[in-house]
Structure 1
Amino acid sequence: MIALDDLDRAFLRALVADATLSAGELGRRYGLSQPAAWRRLKRLTSAGVIRTRRVVVDREALGFSVTVFLGVKLATRGRVSLEDFERAVSAIPEVQTVQYILGAYDYRLRVVARDLADFERVLRRRVMTLPGIGQVDANVLLSEERLPGPIG
């Protein structure tokens, strides 16, 4: 674990809000030179605090207006390996995340679709044909809030 000072936390909060900020812009905001800001970013990245910067695509703008969370319980854990299931489910483009979880289900999937009819197609033709699939429970996302992580 790396020790973070107030400036590190300010950098992280700024990058969470806008991952495209350059070292020069961060330096201007917080009173550092571009090289000093770059060294700070490099230290945070090397320590693993910043894993990646990414673009968040607006799924609705691309026509994917439905998000469904699926709880999946495998029917035959011994006969079909977890890796086989994970490999097969990861190949479905509509599946955005695959989470191996502890609880009532073995996996939690985030699935996007254009509408409910499209989701039904994905469920019937792709998800329900996965190796080892057993019980599936669906929860349709109504709204979502993005909360910043525990930066402190």
Structure 2
Amino acid sequence: MKTVSAIELDAIDRNMLRVLQTDGRISNVDLARRVNLSESACLRRLRALENAGVISRYAALLNERAVGLPLSVFVTVTLASQAQATLEAFETAIAGVPEVTECYLMTGSADYLLRLVVRDVDDLERIHARALTSIAGVTRVSSSVAMRTVVKRGALPV
């Protein structure tokens, strides 16, 4: 993932981002109207936010249950070494596991925290055996199944 440094956002930028986070398919005409800008000024600002990396992409948020992936599983992974080559090898391998929706390099007792979406416990067992524990350098994998989502925001508090 590309590292982006924070940029100075004014009130109009923040307002645009709030609108876009709730409706990423809004037309430039409607966005301009909502943030009280001309269409050309709105488009210029939007392109500047995209070019600065503030807006990294546009996507549809899917309902995990509706697509047959009702279980969220949080997995901690400990590696045998924190050498750069070991970390890079793990990150390359884990990027190829489609059920991994998020992966974070962590401080603390485990090296990585993953979020997986799976169909059921059998699906988790298959991924655990064939994908997670088969990656070179993995010494420990610990999984916790989420019983219920309490808060899950798709929007940042800008």
Which TM-score applies when normalising by structure 2?
A: 0.85
Mapped to 2, the partners of 1:42 and 1:76 lie a distance apart of 42
Q: Secondary structure at the match of 1:60?
A: coil
Deviating beyond 4 angstroms after TM superposition, the runs of 4 or more aligned structure 1 residues are: none
Q: 1:84 is aligned with what amino acid? A: A
* From 129, 148, 156, the counterpart of 1:149: 156
Report Cα offsets for 1:109-135 as digits up to 9, x if no partner.
111110112111211222111111111
Q: Secondary structure at the match of 1:26?
A: helix
Mapped to 2, the partners of 1:103 and 1:7 lie a distance apart of 39
RMSD: 2.0
Q: Secondary structure at the match of 1:54?
A: coil
* From 64, 71, 74, the counterpart of 2:69: 64
Q: Secondary structure at the match of 2:110?
A: coil
Mapped to 1, the partners of 2:127 and 2:30 lie a distance apart of 43
Going from structure 1 to structure 2, the CA distance change for 1:2 and 1:121 (only over 3 Å counts) comes to closer
Mapped to 1, the partners of 2:8 and 2:123 lie a distance apart of 47
The Cα of 1:30 is off from its aligned counterpart by 2.5
Which TM-score applies when normalising by structure 1?
A: 0.88
The Cα of 1:68 is off from its aligned counterpart by 0.4
How do residues 66-145 of structure 1 correspond to structure 2 at under 5 angstroms?
A: 66-77=71-82, 81-141=86-146, 142-145=148-151
Q: Secondary structure at the match of 1:99?
A: strand
Mapped to 2, the partners of 1:3 and 1:75 lie a distance apart of 41
Counterpart of 1:49? 54
Q: Secondary structure at the match of 2:33?
A: helix
In structure 2, runs of 5+ residues without a counterpart are 1-5
* From 7, 13, 17, the counterpart of 1:2: 7
Mapped to 2, the partners of 1:8 and 1:76 lie a distance apart of 43
Q: Secondary structure at the match of 1:29?
A: helix
Q: 1:31 is aligned with what amino acid? A: N
Task: Give the aligned length.
Answer: 151
Q: Secondary structure at the match of 1:61?
A: coil
The Cα of 1:76 is off from its aligned counterpart by 4.2
Mapped to 1, the partners of 2:114 and 2:143 lie a distance apart of 9
Mapped to 2, the partners of 1:9 and 1:146 lie a distance apart of 21
8 A Cα contact 2:100 2:115, kept in partner: yes
Counterpart of 1:27? 32
8 A Cα contact 1:72 1:105, kept in partner: yes
